[in-house]
Structure 1
Amino acid sequence: MLSIDWRATSAYGYEKVILPADFAWEYLRRHEDYHCDFQTIARIKEPDAAQLETFSQRWGLRFPM
């Protein structure tokens, strides 16, 4: 379980100016399944294109070429 207190309103004073990508990151970084998937892909020394595609498709990510 993550130790982030998402109910702490003082931590979200910037919500009026946050960009969509930043908002998405705030959601994603709190998602336990994302953390598990990230740790799995990070443990692979050289993930192949299919593994990266599966990971990025599941989480809606785009990586620069």
Structure 2
Amino acid sequence: MLSIDWRTPAAYKHAKSIPAAGFAWEYLRRNDEYQRDFRAITPIKNLSGRRLEAFSQRWGLRFSMRSRNIR
């Protein structure tokens, strides 16, 4: 498989067609600090609203309401 050097414009040619949410996800999934924060909150069973709010504020995330009750 031929890989393209990430430092070249060709490596980001596809970025012009990515929707904003997809572009944001590409940034976050490569960010070591985000990954560390995500791993820290993922195992918490009763995540407080304050902690989730702090996480979402730090990373600029918005969570849509779910159809089920969140306990």
> Per the shorter chain, which TM-score range?
0.7 to 0.9
TM-score, normalization by structure 1:
0.78
What runs of 5+ residues in structure 2 fail to find an aligned partner? 66-71
The aligned counterpart of 1:50 is: 50
CA distances 1:4-31 after superposition (whole Å, capped 9, x unpaired)? xx7182xx55222111111111101100
CA distances 1:4-61 after superposition (whole Å, capped 9, x unpaired)? xx7182xx55222111111111101100000010011002111010000000000000
Q: How many matched pairs?
A: 58
What runs of 5+ residues in structure 1 fail to find an aligned partner? 1-5
Separation of aligned partners in 2, 1:15 and 1:51? 32
Root-mean-square deviation (CA), in Å? 1.7
**Between the two proteins, what is the percent identity of the paired residues?**
52
Letter in 2 for 1:32: D
TM-score, normalization by structure 2:
0.72
